[in-house]
Amino acid sequence: MSIDLQTVKKIASLSRISVSDAEAQAMVPELNNILGWVEQLGEVDVTGVQPMTAVIPNHQRLREDAVTDGDVRDKVLANAPQAEHGFFAVPKVIE
Amino acid sequence: MTQTAYRIQGATGEWEVVIGLEVHAQVTSKAKLFSGAATAFGAEPNTQVSLVDAAMPGMLPVPNRECIRQAVRTGMAINAQINKWSRFDRKNYFYADLPQGYQISQLYHPIVGEGEIEINLDEKNPDAQTKVIGVERIHVEQDAGKLMHDQHPTRSYVDLNRSGVALMEIVSRPDMRSPAEAGAYLSKLRTILRYVGSCDGNMDQGSMRADVNVSVRKPGGELGTRTETKNVNSVRFVMQAIEYEASRQVDVLEAGGKIVQETRLFDPDKGETRSMRSKEDAHDYRYFPDPDLLPLELDDAFLEECRQSLPELPDAKRKRYEKDLGLSAYNAAVLTAEADTARWFEALLAEGARVQKKSEGEVAKASANWLLSELYGALNRLGRTLEDSPVTPEDGAELLALVADGTISGTIAKQVFEIMLESGGKPAQIVEEKGLRQTSDTGAIEAAVAKVLAGNADKVEQYRGGKEALFGFFVGQTMKAMQGKANPQVVNELLKKALA
């Protein structure tokens, strides 16, 4: 698998990361190197091996249905660049 | 099914509509899917938000057992395959109402697989026109926050109270062929969810919303390109959106154009759909398994509890009302359409059987008729529902028992009922206090009969001359003279004797 300049720009745009042309150019070989390195795993024969979902055998724990959290509006809004009347205030987004 | 197929008449001939629905149903739970924040509707903005829901760094999601349980119970209610192994995936996109930058959902391994829902297209005769609609899957996912655009000239306000609330996405097969079928499917699904108790079905509060997939084709031809109309929030709007969208597509195709696969919005004021003009790559969600969550593994004991806790479902209940209680198909359908109505009716029935010392079957017809005509009529008039009915099932059963044992006539029962509605009093007490007890006192009735006959000598003459229809007139006059309290059977007997 290899990626080109266009793919790098698309990923950057999907991730909302601003990347200059020069940076994008530089990332093409970098990302390809990483992908190539990971692709070595494809050489291992995993026939009949179940995908590993956790390092130690473990089961997903479930929570009881009880209200134990919330009501911390000040904390939730503390880092907001702008908050008004208890809401986050963001640049207008409307379609 | 013998229904005439729904067709759109185009310039080039007939077109068939193909419809699939993706319904988002909010799971009834106290806390959110992955956090302990509350889910109640209508709270102050951002007060029901935990640091997990606000996607603060380092927060970890832990699934709510009840949300998983409700999804499984819903799957069982539509005879679906339940997947004992399922997994959560991240659906990545940026939007101001999604603080995580991804929605935790289930793409590859949903918790519920193939199931089906039978729809009834004729309410009056539910078994006459039925169709089975396939359900492809149900998966569990997080809801997003809410955006408000009209509070500030240049800002949108974000409320994360809804962020992280559990949703079931119920995906149908493209098995529907008319707006009516889509409407019937959505209504039936809503009924099932409310019976199961997994979603309150309040469409006006956004607890249920449908994404409507529509395409058109020449009857029996290849499937056309579909469009998806998002977030339609009533049965009527779903039907309107399909009608509009199908004829729009026919117009485009007949003018030589092509349908673009796109997301559209429904405008309820205009009854139209319009393109959302999203960016092309908006749907590149780059799903991958959520590394914060282990696969969800359900054991047999959990599944068994889910199965055991299911109530009698609407179709089974409707058939039982018809078969065991002897109700008409229509009455059975109306009484079972809402879980609340069936619950009220069954309370009325149980109490009626108890006080009259009869079987439920013996009191069923009178109970059903009274509920559907008298009580519903009164509630409509008062703008109320069964939930806040001024009359309880116990009061209703007491009233019906008074009619059944001859204490009062049906006419007087209506009067007593009116008083119950106004004062909230108990029927037996009202009958005593107002002296409404029916009389079989032959002396008093004979006197009234004699007076009526004496005052209407001309009509008596006509009756004896063969105009037998006048008998009803004499009954009416006698009852009137007795202020409605005479036993109608005794009145009939005495009148017949006097007129002979």
- What is the average pLDDT score of chain B? 92
Condensed to tens digits (0 to 9), the pLDDT of residues B245-261 reads 999 999 999 999 999 99
Tell me: the pLDDT tens digits for B254-300? 999 999 999 999 999 999 999 986 655 566 899 999 999 999 999 99
- Domain end, chosen from B306, B321, B356, is at B306
The answer to whether position B462 is within a domain reads yes
Domain boundary among B252, B276, B306: B306
Tell whether the model's pLDDT for residue B172 goes beyond 70: yes
How many contacts does A have with B, using Cβ atoms within 8 A? 138
Last residue of a domain, one of B413, B433, B453: B433
Question: Taking CB atoms and an 8 Å limit, are A86 and B67 in contact across chains?
Answer: no
Contact A63 B63 (CB under 8 A): yes
Residues from chain B that touch A54, judged by Cβ atoms under 8 A, are 294
B128-144 in b/e burial notation, b at 16+ Cβ within 10 A?
A: ebebebebbbbbbbbbb
Interface of A with B (CB under 8 A): 10, 13-14, 16, 53-54, 58-73, 75-77, 82, 84-95
Same domain, yes or no: B53 and B177: yes
Alpha-carbon gap: A22 to the closest alpha carbon of chain B (Å): 23
Range list of H helices, B34-178: 65-77
Contact B389, B418 (CB under 8 A): no
Minimal CA separation from A7 to chain B, in Å: 12
Angle, to 10 degrees, between the axis of helix B314-323 and the axis of helix B179-196?
A: 90
Provide mean pLDDT across the span A14-29: 93
Residue B421's Cα: distance from chain center in Å? 26
The type of residue at B163 is S
Percentage of residues in chain B having pLDDT higher than 70:
98
Inter-chain touch B294–A54, beta carbons under 8 Å: yes
- pLDDT-derived band at A31 (thresholds 50, 70, 90) equals very high
Which residue from B35, B63, B265 is facing A69, i.e. has the nearest CB? Answer: B35
Is residue B13 over pLDDT 70?
yes
Do residues B14 and B80 both lie within one domain?
A: yes
Answer yes or no: do B36 and A63 touch at CB < 8 A.
yes
The pLDDT tens digits of the residues spanning B18-76 come to 999 999 999 999 999 999 999 999 999 999 999 999 999 999 999 999 999 999 999 99
Report the relative pairing of strands B155-159 and B8-10 from DSSP bridges: unpaired
In this structure, the answer to whether residues B220 and B320 fall within a common structural domain is no
| Per-residue pLDDT, B146 | 94
Q: Say whether both B224 and B172 belong to one domain.
A: yes
Residue B484 has pLDDT above 90, yes or no: no
- The enclosing domain of B486 has a CATH number of 1.10.10.410
Range of the domain at B404: 312-433
For B400-438, b/e burial (b = at least 16 CB within 10 A) is: bbbbeeebbbeebbebbbebbbeeebbbbebbeeeebeb
Cβ within 8 Å of residue B314, ≥6 positions away: B188, B191, B192, B195, B336, B337, B339, B342
In this prediction, residue B435 carries a pLDDT of 78
Residues in chain B within 8 Å Cβ distance of A72: 49-51
Question: Do residues B171 and B118 share a domain?
Answer: yes
Q: Which of A76, A95, A68 is nearest to B45 (CA)?
A: A76
Nearest CB partner across the interface for A87, out of B50, B51, B158:
B158
DSSP count for chain A of H helices, then E strands? 3, 2
**Measured between alpha carbons, how far is residue B245 from residues B13, B121, B176, B469 in Å?**
18, 22, 15, 59
Q: What is the ipTM of this complex?
A: 0.89
Percent of chain B with pLDDT strictly greater than 90: 75
Q: Which of A9, A11, A65 to mutate to test the interface with B (most CBs of B within 10 A)?
A: A65
Other C-beta atoms closer than 10 Å to the C-beta of B356 total 16
What are the DSSP E strand ranges found in B2-59? 8-10, 13-26
In a domain, B3, yes or no: no
pLDDT tens by residue, B343-401: 999 999 999 999 999 999 999 999 999 999 999 999 999 999 998 899 999 999 999 99
Both B58 and B39 in one domain: the answer is yes
Q: Is the pLDDT of residue B1 over 50?
A: no
B32: helix, strand or coil:
coil
Nearest to B50 among A70, A86, A90 (CB): A70
Is B478 contained in some domain? yes
Contact check, Cβ <8 Å, A70/B36: yes
Give tens-digit pLDDT for B392-449. 999 999 999 999 988 888 888 998 999 999 988 899 999 888 878 877 778 888 888 8
Residues of B within 8 A of A86 (CB-CB) are 44-47, 159
Q: Would you tell me how many other CB atoms lie within 10 Å of the CB of residue B55? A: 15
Chain B partners within 8 Å of A55 (Cβ):
none
Closest residue on chain B to A72 (Cα): B47
Are B425 and B474 members of one domain?
no
Per-residue confidence (pLDDT) for residue B277, from 0 to 100: 66
Tell which CATH classification among 1.10.150, 1.10.3470, 1.10.20, 1.20.120 matches the domain A5-43. Answer: 1.10.20
pLDDT for position B282: 60
Identify the pLDDT of residue A95: 57
Say whether both B265 and B317 belong to one domain. Answer: no
Q: Which pLDDT does position B201 carry in this prediction?
A: 94
Pick from B147, B131, B14, B137: which is nearest to B82 by CA? Answer: B137
If asked whether residues B353 and B450 sit together in one domain, one would say no
Are the Cβ atoms of B157 and A88 closer than 8 angstroms?
A: yes
Rounded to whole angstroms, the Cα distance separating A95 from B102 reads 20
Query: What pLDDT score does B184 carry?
Result: 95
| Full-model pTM | 0.86
Strand ordering across the sheet containing A87-91: A83-84, A87-91, B155-159, B146-148
Return the minimum-mean-pLDDT range out of A7-11, A71-75, B377-381, B490-494: B490-494
Mean pLDDT of B208-217: 97
Residue A56 has pLDDT above 50, yes or no: yes
Domain boundaries of chain A, sorted by first residue: 5-43
Domains contained in chain B, number? 3
User: pLDDT-based confidence at B498, cuts 50/70/90?
Assistant: confident
Q: How many CB atoms lie within 10 A of CB B341?
A: 18
Which among B33, B44, B49, B64 is the top mutation candidate for probing chain A, defined by the most A β-carbons within 10 Å of its own β-carbon?
A: B49
* pLDDT at residue number B2: 46
Question: Is residue B480 very low, low, confident or very high in pLDDT (cuts 50, 70, 90)?
Answer: confident
pLDDT at A59: 86
